[in-house]
Amino acid sequence: MTTNRSFSFELFPPKTEKGFENLKTAVNQLNALNPEFFSVTYGAGGSTQDRTFASVDWLREQQIETAPHLSCIGSSREEILQILDRYHEQKIRRLVALRGDLPSGAGLGSLGELNYANELVEMIKERYGDHFYIEVAAYPEFHPQANSAKADLKNFKRKVEAGADGAITQYFYNPDAYFCFVEECSDMGIDIPIVPGIMPITNYVQLARFSDACGAEIPRWVRRRLESFGDDLEGIRAFGAEVVTELCRRLLDGGAPGLHFYTMNQATPTLKIWNNLGL
């Protein structure tokens, strides 16, 4: 890495052999960019546990710095500690600690013992001290379930006070939301690096559905332009790469401490943005 900014790539644990082959291809291409780490998501309640382990193990075999995600909702303390012991034994040094989302329809009985991510961070710190570098999630456009923007900021601060070392944001397309969030955090005495999460645009319908669910705003002008491409996927990707490149440029120029790409296990959209940025 030629700068001290942190660039990292997120993967999801594939369900099929073919998906796993795709992941390997994407990692081989993206690893050539010399990222800080790859992270691997984890389904709440342990729904992807074995698949997350398989992806993490493969990355570790390639000597790649790996940050497993771990979500606490729907699991007991004991179950979570077992996973943490495994990662500790494997000498994994980074984690992304989350609450997670239970699938709709899951009953209250399946909530588990830890209700919020700050409790998970606290538990990790208590048991392992400073062994793990812990990243938590941040929401420049606020978490969809938050009572208010102010309450969400306070809750973010709880995670930092519990011992989070860094944060990765939910994706967004409006850089002002990020800069405003970072400024408010700084006013509250939060001084950990807050790395923007970047979602390349490859498929409008999927992105719109996902954004509605997670509370990420697609600006109206971007939505309208994307809609106008209809089934023209190439057009969507080319326009999407332009928009996201400009977003990244503004974030880095404005002092963002790095970028975390939600790769969706595809190298090409991220590589395109990376090359546009001349990183």
**How many residues bind to ligand FAD according to rule CB under 6 A?**
26
Shortest Cβ distance from residue 134 to ligand FAD (Å)? 11
- 10 annotated active-site: yes
C-alpha distances (whole Å) from 20 to each of 15, 47, 87 are 7, 17, 21
Which residues in 174-233 contact ligand FAD (CB under 6 A)? 197
Q: Are 123 and 132 in contact (CB under 8 A)?
A: no
Q: Would you count residue 258 as binding ligand FAD (CB under 6 A)?
A: no
Among 49, 155, 203, 266, binds ligand FAD (CB under 6 A): 155
Give Cα 168 distance to the centre of its chain: 6
Q: Are 7 and 42 in contact (CB under 8 A)?
A: no
Q: Are 188 and 153 in contact (CB under 8 A)?
A: yes
Among 5, 65, 88, 116, binds ligand FAD (CB under 6 A): 116
Q: Are 216 and 251 in contact (CB under 8 A)?
A: no
Q: Which residues make Cβ contacts (< 8 Å) with residue 1, sequence separation at least 6?
A: 7, 34, 36
Among 65, 101, 165, 246, binds ligand FAD (CB under 6 A): 101
Q: Would you count residue 145 as binding ligand FAD (CB under 6 A)?
A: yes
Shortest Cβ distance from residue 171 to ligand FAD (Å)? 8
The contact set with ligand FAD (CB under 6 A) reads: 41-44, 69, 71, 96, 98-101, 116-118, 137, 143, 145-146, 151-152, 155, 158-159, 168, 170, 197
Active site residues: 10
